[in-house]
Amino acid sequence: MDWLERGVTARADPSRLLKGCKSIICLAYPYSTQKPATPDGFTTARFTEGLTEDYHSRLKRLASPIVNIIQKAFPESKSRVCVDSAPLLERPYALKAGIGFIGKNNMLIVPGHGSFCYLVEVLTTAPLEAGTEKAVHEGCGDCDQCLKACPTGALSAPFLLDSRHCLSYLTIESRNPLPPSAGQKMNRCFFGCDACQEACPRNRDITQTRVCLPSIQEILKMEEQEFRSRFQKTVFWRTGVEKLKSNILAAMGME
């Protein structure tokens, strides 16, 4: 994850992303608790929402009315909408904005909702007044179910994640083949991992799946052109068809 190191300066200083940034508006948008599934019983992490439009572009579009309001109020201002691909400390900002608290699994947990939500930030040069919300002081207490549930031990201690062992990293960000030991720990989930969130008592209604993906055999037979036509606008696109096939084979215990 070299991009984390490359973006360390920008993460500490939002003006690196938007020159003259004076305010940050933090938003949370829920995604479905139903797990996307293939007809043959394989799944992906919930944030993918199956073959729907990639949430990065979708959420930027949903946040655009806020940018328009700011522009009308401050005509000389400039704004930028950021979704998690930008180097920004989005969870600490959401914490400070009063949206929720950070759990031991490092996810932002929204009281009354849970952690199944996307985070969005609107950076602006407009001198907005600070909100009245205060940071949420709730926490996990003695609960450590997320740590126990992590299938690879990537959550070795509260708030400590070793991404090199995290199935989300290994199946999405990493360009390398999955290690031989990973397949039996994937629980038939070939893109991402929700294990720590599924174990969190703050999350509810996590048992349902939704068949909305092609079958495993369909994906394994796909050539680049068909993959492009069916997956290009989804979150699966940046991983690529060969990586997706490799993940599936590992989940099937064939690598």
Rg for the chain (alpha carbons), in Å?
Answer: 19
pLDDT digits (tens, 9 = 90+) for 93-130: 999 999 999 999 999 999 999 999 999 999 999 999 88
* pLDDT over threshold 60, residue 49: yes
Q: Does 181 share its domain with 220?
A: yes
With helix as H, strand as E and coil as C, how does the chain read? CHHHHHCHHHHHCHHHCCCCCCEEEEEEEECCCCEEECCCCCECCHHHCCCCCCHHHHHHHHHHHHHHHHHHHCCCCCEEEEECCCCCCHHHHHHHHCCCEECCCCCEEECCCECCEEEEEEEECCCCCCCCCCCCCCCCCCCCHHHHHCCCCCEEECCEECHHHCHHHHHHHCCCCCCCCCHHHCCCECCCCCHHHHCCCCCCCCCCEEECCCCHHHHHHCCHHHHHHHHCCCCCCCCCHHHHHHHHHHHCCCC
pLDDT given for residue 80 in this prediction: 96
Domain boundary among 93, 124, 155: 124
Token code pair at residue 209 = 């799946």
136 or 192, which is more confident?
192
Q: Does 16 share its domain with 62?
A: yes
- Full-model pTM: 0.91
**pLDDT above 70 as % of the chain:** 94
Number of domains in the chain: 2
Closest of 210, 243, 236, 234 to residue 41, by C-alpha? 210
In Å, how far are 140, 183, 185 from 189, measured between CA atoms?
26, 9, 9
pLDDT digits (tens, 9 = 90+) for 60-79: 999 999 999 999 999 999 99
Domain that holds residue 247: 145-251
Q: Does 240 share its domain with 209?
A: yes
Region 35-45: mean pLDDT is 97
10 Å Cβ neighbour count for 13? 10
pLDDT digits (tens, 9 = 90+) for 200-220: 999 999 999 999 999 999 999
Specify the residue for token string 């969190």: 200
Region 20-27: mean pLDDT is 96
pLDDT given for residue 176 in this prediction: 87
pLDDT digits (tens, 9 = 90+) for 159-208: 999 999 999 999 999 988 888 788 889 999 999 999 999 999 999 999 99
- Give phi and psi for 253, each to the nearest 5: 75, 30
Q: Does 102 share its domain with 165?
A: no
Task: Out of 84, 144, 162, 205, pick the active-site residue.
Answer: 84
User: Does some domain include residue 48?
Assistant: no
User: Does some domain include residue 40?
Assistant: no
Q: Does 204 share its domain with 168?
A: yes
pLDDT bin (cut points 50, 70, 90) of residue 5 is low
Q: Which amino acid is at 22?
A: K
* pLDDT over threshold 70, residue 249: yes
pLDDT given for residue 1 in this prediction: 56
- Whether 84 is catalytic: yes
User: Does some domain include residue 92?
Assistant: yes
Q: Does 218 share its domain with 162?
A: yes
Q: Does 108 share its domain with 181?
A: no
User: Does some domain include residue 9?
Assistant: yes
pLDDT bin (cut points 50, 70, 90) of residue 86 is confident
User: Does some domain include residue 12?
Assistant: yes
